[in-house]
Structure 1
């Protein structure tokens, strides 16, 4: 029978940064071999399994795509390197988030659920959640979800907390257009860089969005991160673009459209990853109870700075929390790793929640 370390190793060893099919096929085959669940792999590559019955459903949610590996994470044949050292598993995808996909698979297999229990592993999370969005469009709509992204180390080192909210990310571009002229006669043109800097001044004066989720404060941010304009040292620029990174909070957005009051400036949204806020305090408390029972330290309900697929689910009406083994700074690094003991803790949390919620 597969152990959590062995199942995690198997998943991490399957390359899934360019194509996710092999990882999805492995998860699908494992679920069919080890459970009596109704297992599907949809046209997008998402793997979804269901067991148990009830008016309300709880989903254990992850994703099996990863970001491209660092060269040190590949062997001479270009295969993923997976190593175990000092109680940790090293390799691309260990922390983000095949370790918790494996933990959710085992919890799904072993749990005697209180209602309908759903396992879902999506594709394309690292591309903005395209797999999750596609599943939602196809009707994926659990009432509750535990998303296995990282929540360890927020309240205290090594403690696996319960994130009841996270920020979203809206990336946008301010486009300033003017009229070119020779730099020796600046009045003959309209300087797009000047217009762009006026728009930057508008952004600098904006208040950061803020909200409260289950008594926890969540603050966003707005920052200009890139500026690109001009064609030559002696030409008045006719175009300049400014990149704005905004970390959003539920039901709040910075009024970036104010920059369009500057002559020649328009605003374009390039990406909008939604934030997440759990709206059911009883569910959040039930997950916290399961997290408390699974560890000696005292976990807390926290807020998370990074967008996840929980944002898309929450936007569609699912009450979500985030519970996972990854600690801040572990994902997407050349030395990415995950604690095997914390993975086992997460498996216990997932199984405990599945057997307690929805409450009987």
Structure 2
């Protein structure tokens, strides 16, 4: 456990919100020094290592996946009191505090140790991957996929702790995606004293908002677990001054998508002068491999039982992860990791050392479990 905590602290201390290179260097150097795996660093900065049946074209491929980029730190999280300077890392009360501790360098460290220690069964290639650019739309994952990264199965080490109940690390069999859209309403400007001489873009945008309010949120069921998305208008901007009929109004829509279903936002274009533009579309994930999901839950429950903890459950994660991009490309994914709800992206971000050890045990166990 000490090695895991020390490695976590090392990774957390390395700034990686603007440039992930130094964190990638540390991960790559550790893998080359501590394992006999084939280690690669691609053009995007992703670090990928493989061991086991690497020369067998029919090998079953399982990957432990994380990311080493982080969101910008708060002032208290750097020695420079802002975005500059080294990251501040503290260990107290059984937790490691610092930007990226929970999301998700602690879990990356657990994956690294599990990758080193695991002895995959015959006929399995075991991979480890730490991507860049997860926080800005999965840039690293998409680059790796385009370059041929295509494991049969992947365990993505994003947070799933304390989902079903306190003190357990659950197995997420699905997660929501996020589609960010803009409705652009066009009108015709006129003097506000003669509103009938123009076409009010805000009125048209209001009609489009009414269409959005009438749409059903997307829904799906994965392994008996209900996944319900959401749909909300979150911003609206139109007009330039008080005495001019506005000729343009923009409305931002946040949609949480689910596997196999999206809201019919194109219906808003039925309003005259309204166009619908998709700004970002992070895909949802649903595991389609019963054996993988069953085995992962069995391993997680065995680990919890050994530690005297309550049994974990299958859960649905509300946030999009790189598992969505992998699943879209054909990889069966699960999410299991140390981050707890409310920890990521905060100025008091932290991760429990015992939880990291629990995750290490789960990752090693899944890596060695025949499927």
Measured against the shorter chain, the TM-score band is over 0.9
Q: 2:92 corresponds to which residue?
A: 85
Q: 2:36 corresponds to which residue?
A: 36
Q: 1:282 corresponds to which residue?
A: 291
Asked if 1:205 corresponds to 2:197, the answer is no
Shift of 1:319: 0.4
In 2, Cα distance between equivalents of 1:273 and 1:78: 31
Q: 2:232 corresponds to which residue?
A: 223
Q: 1:12 corresponds to which residue?
A: 12
Aligned pairs (5 A) from 1:1-360:
3-53=3-53, 55-76=59-80, 78-114=85-121, 115-295=124-304, 296-357=309-370, 359=371
In 1, Cα distance between equivalents of 2:19 and 2:293: 35
Q: Secondary structure at the match of 1:176?
A: strand
Normalized against structure 2, the TM-score is what?
Answer: 0.95
In 1, Cα distance between equivalents of 2:113 and 2:130: 13
Number of residues of Structure 1 aligned to a counterpart in Structure 2? 358
Output one character per residue of 1:137-160: Cα deviation in whole Å (capped at 9) or x when no partner: 000000000000000011001210
In 2, Cα distance between equivalents of 1:78 and 1:20: 14
After the TM superposition, which parts of structure 1 deviate over 4 Å for at least 4 consecutive aligned residues? none
Give the unaligned 5+ runs of structure 2: none
Shift of 1:281: 1.3
In 2, Cα distance between equivalents of 1:2 and 1:310: 29
Shift of 1:297: 1.3
In 2, Cα distance between equivalents of 1:219 and 1:281: 21
CA-atom RMSD in angstroms: 1.0
Q: Secondary structure at the match of 1:3?
A: helix
Shift of 1:78: 1.8
Shift of 1:294: 1.3
Shift of 1:231: 0.7
In 2, Cα distance between equivalents of 1:84 and 1:19: 25
Q: Secondary structure at the match of 2:7?
A: helix
Shift of 1:83: 0.1
Normalized against structure 1, the TM-score is what?
Answer: 0.98
In 1, Cα distance between equivalents of 2:275 and 2:241: 23
More displaced 10-residue stretch of structure 1: 100-109 or 71-80: 71-80
In 1, Cα distance between equivalents of 2:302 and 2:348: 30
Output one character per residue of 1:51-103: Cα deviation in whole Å (capped at 9) or x when no partner: 00161100000000000000000114721000001000000000000000000
In 2, Cα distance between equivalents of 1:344 and 1:332: 22
In 2, Cα distance between equivalents of 1:235 and 1:213: 51
In 2, Cα distance between equivalents of 1:106 and 1:49: 12
Output one character per residue of 1:155-190: Cα deviation in whole Å (capped at 9) or x when no partner: 001210000000000000000000000000000000
Output one character per residue of 1:217-236: Cα deviation in whole Å (capped at 9) or x when no partner: 10001100000000110000
Q: Secondary structure at the match of 1:294?
A: helix
